[in-house]
């Protein structure tokens, strides 16, 4: 694994000043957009019209994380907006292989997410179908939760499986990513990091992004 990508989550942004909040993270690699339906997770955020508006307000790629029921029905519409990637939850998808292929057919990267307690192994055969695997390091639904170290072994197993597959697949972690936890997550094998409050809670978001990148490179000290 080489390099890392920082995807700030706008779940922690000030939605009343969203255009300015997007400008604050101009140095990021992508914008992580959490779409929640108050069914799959106990929170309600935003949908297609707001994602479309965000795509017009920033030159950064959009990393759409669907925490919704029935992604088989709704995910393709997000791909049609021209976003960079669409992540669906394995726990919610009825036909994950078909959905992953449909997302790619519509010109976006397909990505699959697993909750902390969802086993990795039943989904390893799915790896060739996705461009990114997201391992949640908190229970999905709300920002500001502490990092769950119990996911570290799963990150390690996922890294081994991805490397063994020979495919180019990003390994993303989302939840509780700080300057301290990013070191452990990177050492375990993650290369793409969603950070919400640690970026948007900082006085200077650009400095926070830079510091996270630097700390991700410290993984060598733990390997």
> Per the annotation, where are the binding residues for substrate?
9, 65, 141-144, 174-176, 196-197
Q: Which of 63, 84, 174, 191 is catalytic?
A: 174
- Enumerate the H helices of 119-196 as residue ranges: 152-165, 181-188
The Cα–Cα gap between 201 and 123 comes to: 35
Q: Which of 29, 34, 63, 131 is catalytic?
A: 34
Annotation marks residue 34 as catalytic: yes
Q: Please list the helix, strand and coil fractions of the chain in percent, rounded to the nearest 5, in that order.
A: 45, 20, 35
The secondary structure of residue 176, as a DSSP letter, is S
Burial class (CB in 10 A: 0-12, 13-18, 19+), 51: middle
CA atoms within 13 A on the CB side of 163: 12
Crossing angle of the two packed helices 152-165 and 181-188, in degrees rounded to 10: 40
Binding residues for a divalent metal cation: 32, 34, 65, 174
Q: How many residues in the chain?
A: 223
The secondary structure of residue 26, as a DSSP letter, is T
Residue 32 pairs with which residues in a beta bridge? 9, 63
Give the angle subtended at the CA of 130 by the CAs of 22 and 193, to the nearest 5°. Answer: 40
Binding residues: 9, 32, 34, 65, 141-144, 174-176, 196-197
Enzyme catalytic residues: 34, 174
């Amino acid at each position: 694994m080489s390099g890392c990508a920082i995807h700030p989550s706008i779940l922690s942004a000030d939605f009343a000043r969203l255009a300015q909040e997007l400008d604050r993270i101009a140095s990021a690699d992508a914008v992580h957009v959490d779409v929640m339906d108050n069914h799959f997770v106990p929170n309600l955020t935003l949908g297609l019209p707001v994602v479309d508006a965000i795509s017009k307000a920033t030159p950064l790629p959009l990393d759409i994380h669907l925490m919704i029921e029935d992604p088989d029905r709704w995910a393709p519409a997000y791909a049609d907006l021209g976003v960079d990637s669409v992540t669906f939850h394995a726990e919610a998808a009825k036909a994950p292989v078909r959905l992953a292929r449909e997302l790619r057919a519509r010109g976006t990267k397909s990505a699959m997410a697993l909750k902390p307690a969802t086993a990795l192994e039943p989904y390893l055969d799915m790896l060739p179908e996705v461009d990114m695997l997201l391992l949640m390091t908190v229970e999905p639904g709300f920002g500001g939760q502490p990092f769950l170290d119990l996911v570290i072994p799963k990150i390690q197993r996922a890294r081994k499986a991805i490397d063994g597959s020979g495919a180019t697949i990003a390994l993303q972690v989302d939840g509780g990513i700080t300057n301290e936890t990013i070191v452990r997550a990177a050492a375990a094998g993650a290369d793409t990091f969603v950070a919400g409050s640690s970026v948007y809670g900082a006085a200077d978001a650009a400095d926070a992004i830079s510091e996270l990148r630097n700390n991700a490179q410290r993984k060598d000290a733990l390997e």
